[in-house]
């Protein structure tokens, strides 16, 4: 352990985090209780029942550089942080749902939004997506050209700037939208599974050539631009690749599995997908079966060919690659962790594992225990090989609170 920070949020949402090009650590979260992350109390409305919004920046050593808190408008929709990314210039891009947040003269309009913040945390660009129904931003990734790609899901109709897209009656559709450095839409894509169908995009990663990789789950019948996928499961994991211009390159699903792809990462000639499943799927000629939900990690070539897969008795929640191409995976387990070199019974809790990209073999695994439930939300690796993990812990002791499922956040930084 290099350092850790606790975030007493009192909210049901886990924090997001990302490493900036200079090694700084950015974190975004919602909070329902008075909060101080080291620079003094953040703005807080004791009367409001809505969650507040916090964005903070720490040095590589964990020292706070700045922190900003936004107060919600009373009566606004439930706020959440959907994704956080840092572009090549060090600007932070934040996506999610705003509760009409206000900070001094700055305002984030109510509803789905994406905002660009300067390296000092000043809001420079804000835009929304007009329409009806619900829209959830699930992930944000820098595109390497100063802009970002957002993915998520929506119901009803939404104007993404280049087109108005529809989810269909009773259905939920996935979307991807690429924005330039000023927040203007370059292009958008939508994928629906017809009436009562579901498609959701939960993760996005951009490779060195600008290829965009999206992972999530679907139910019903859907085409991402190639063959039509059909499942009778409640949700089946998928991954797809788009060109920098948004054209379909390839798409794959995990036929026979019921579950969700939660994370995607890219390396040299590799695309890695992590998630949870039950049932059975075949990958590279090998069967993977789970009676109850467990994790999977699969590797494709840049062209979409199957390379290898692992399944294990743990969740696969967050995934990252580093400059050497190695994988870092984070999740939770119930005591039967199978990822470490010395497999065996270990206390249930959070784990972080470093894996080889060639076959998924484990280099090391680190476990952390907690009296209650734990969740890994995001993992990043800086140029020096340090691993940053963000997540949430249920409160160990029962406390009187008017909020459902209160959790507190954490940041961990591990040495290489």
For residue 37, give the CATH number of its domain: 2.120.10.30
Predicted local distance difference test score (pLDDT) of residue 398: 59
pLDDT at 340 over 80: no
Give the H or E element holding residue 42. none
Cα dist from 182 to 107, 125, 127, 135, whole Å? 17, 7, 10, 21
Rg (CA), the chain: 20
Q: Identify which has the larger pLDDT, 126 or 340.
A: 126
Give the C-alpha separation, 383 to 318, whole Å: 18
How confident is the model at residue 347, as a pLDDT? 76
The predicted structure's pLDDT at residue 399: 62
- Tens of pLDDT, residue by residue over 197-245, are 999 999 999 999 999 999 999 999 999 999 999 998 999 999 999 999 9
pLDDT given for residue 334 in this prediction: 82
Average confidence (pLDDT) over 315-321: 96
* CA–CA distances in Å: residue 304 to residues 79, 231, 312, 322, 405: 36, 20, 23, 21, 40
Other beta carbons within 10 Å of 12? 17
* pTM exceeding the 0.85 threshold for the entire prediction: yes
pLDDT grade, residue 146 (50/70/90)?
Answer: very high
Q: Which distant-in-sequence residues (6+ apart) come within 8 Å of 237 by Cβ? A: 215, 216, 217, 253, 254, 257, 259, 260, 261, 273, 275, 277, 296
Q: How far apart are CA 26 and CA 117, in angstroms?
A: 11
Of residues 41 and 339, more confidently modeled: 41
Expressed as residue numbers, the domain containing 130 is 3-414
Give 140 or 109, the one with higher predicted confidence: 140
pLDDT at residue 400 greater than cutoff 80: no
User: What letter would DSSP give residue 90?
Assistant: S
Q: What strands, in cross-sheet order, belong to the sheet with 25-31?
A: 16-19, 25-31, 52-58, 64-70
Q: How large is the average pLDDT for residues 8-12?
A: 91
Q: What is the mean pLDDT of the chain?
A: 92
Q: What pLDDT digit, counting tens, does each position of 235-283 carry?
A: 999 999 999 999 999 999 999 999 999 999 999 999 999 999 999 999 9
Across the range 370-383, mean pLDDT stands at 90
CA distance 222 to 235: 12
Residues of the chain with pLDDT > 90, as a percent, come to 80
Specify the pLDDT at position 346: 67
pLDDT greater than 90 at residue 196 = no
Angstrom distances, CA of residue 159 to CA of 141, 178, 216, 223, 244: 21, 13, 22, 21, 21
- Average of per-residue pLDDT across 121-125: 93
* Per-residue pLDDT at 51: 92
Q: Residue 355: which residues within 8 A CB-CB, separation 6 or more?
A: 297, 326, 327, 328, 329, 339, 361, 362, 363
Q: Which residues pair with 85 in a beta bridge?
A: 93
Number of Cβ atoms within 10 Å of the Cβ of 39: 12
Which band of pLDDT confidence, cut at 50, 70 and 90, is reported for residue 292? confident
pLDDT of 106 reads 76
Task: Taking residues 310-316, report their average pLDDT.
Answer: 93
Mean pLDDT, residues 293-313: 96
Predicted confidence (pLDDT) at residue 153 exceeds the cutoff of 80 = yes
Q: How far is CA 149 from the centre of its chain?
A: 12
Q: What pLDDT was estimated at residue 405?
A: 77
Q: How many separate domains does the chain show?
A: 1
For residue 402, give both structure tokens.
Answer: 């008017």
* Stretch 397-404: mean pLDDT: 64
- Distance of alpha carbon 82 from alpha carbon 99, whole angstroms: 13
108 pLDDT higher than 90: no
The pLDDT, as a whole number, for residue 373 is 85
- Tens digit of each residue's pLDDT (9 = 90 or more) over 16-34: 999 999 999 999 999 999 9
What would the mean pLDDT of 343-354 be, rounded to a whole number? 79
Distance CA 62, CA 413 (A): 9
> Are 91 and 116 contacting, i.e. CB atoms less than 8 angstroms apart?
yes
Half-sphere exposure of 321 (CA within 13 A, CB side): 24
User: 339 phi and psi, to 5 degrees?
Assistant: -90, -25
Q: What pLDDT score was predicted for residue 189?
A: 98
Dihedral sign from CA coordinates of 226, 138, 317, 220: negative
Starting at the edge strand that comes first in sequence, how are the strands of the sheet with 374-381 ordered? 3-11, 407-414, 387-394, 374-381
Paired tokens of 395: 């409160």
* Mean pLDDT to the nearest integer, 44-61: 93
Query: Minimal CA–CA distance to 367: which of 390, 335, 319?
Result: 335
């Amino acid at each position: 352990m290099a350092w850790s920070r606790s975030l007493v949020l009192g909210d049901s949402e886990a924090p997001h985090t990302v490493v900036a090009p200079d090694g700084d650590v950015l974190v975004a979260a919602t909070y329902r209780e008075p909060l101080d992350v080291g620079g003094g109390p953040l703005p807080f409305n004791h009367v409001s029942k809505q969650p507040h919004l916090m964005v903070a920046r720490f040095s590589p050593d964990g020292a706070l550089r700045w922190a900003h808190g936004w107060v919600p408008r009373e009566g606004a929709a439930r706020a959440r942080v959907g994704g956080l990314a840092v572009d090549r210039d060090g600007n932070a891009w934040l996506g999610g749902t705003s509760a009409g947040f206000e900070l001094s003269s700055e305002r984030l309009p109510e509803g789905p939004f994406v905002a660009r913040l300067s390296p000092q945390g000043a809001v420079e660009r804000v835009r929304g997506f007009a329409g009806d129904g619900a829209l959830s931003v699930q992930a944000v990734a820098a595109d390497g050209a100063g802009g970002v790609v957002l993915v998520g899901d929506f119901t009803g109709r939404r104007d993404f700037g280049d087109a108005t897209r529809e989810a269909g009656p009773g259905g939920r559709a996935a979307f991807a939208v690429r924005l330039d450095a000023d927040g203007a839409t370059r292009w958008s894509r939508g994928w629906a599974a017809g009436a009562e169908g579901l498609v959701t995009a939960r993760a996005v990663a951009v490779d060195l050539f600008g290829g965009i990789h999206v992972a999530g789950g679907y139910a019903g019948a859907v085409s991402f631009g190639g063959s039509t996928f059909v499942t009778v499961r409640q949700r089946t994991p998928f991954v797809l690749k788009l060109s920098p211009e948004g054209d379909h390159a390839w798409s794959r699903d995990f036929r026979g599995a019921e579950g969700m792809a939660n994370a995607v990462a890219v390396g040299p000639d590799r695309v890695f997908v992590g998630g949870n499943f039950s049932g059975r799927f075949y990958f590279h000629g090998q069967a993977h079966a789970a009676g109850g939900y467990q994790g999977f990690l699969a590797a494709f070539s840049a062209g979409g060919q199957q390379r290898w897969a692992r399944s294990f008795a743990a969740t696969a929640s967050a995934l990252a690659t580093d400059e050497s191409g190695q994988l870092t995976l984070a999740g939770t387990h119930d005591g039967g962790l199978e990822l470490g070199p010395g497999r065996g019974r270990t206390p249930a809790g959070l784990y972080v594992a470093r894996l080889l990209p060639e076959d998924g073999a484990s280099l090391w695994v680190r476990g952390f225990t907690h009296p209650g439930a734990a969740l890994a939300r995001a993992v990043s690796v800086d140029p020096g090989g340090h691993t940053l993990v963000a997540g949430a812990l249920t409160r160990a002791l029962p406390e009187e609170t008017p909020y459902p499922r209160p959790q507190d956040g954490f940041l961990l930084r591990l040495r290489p």
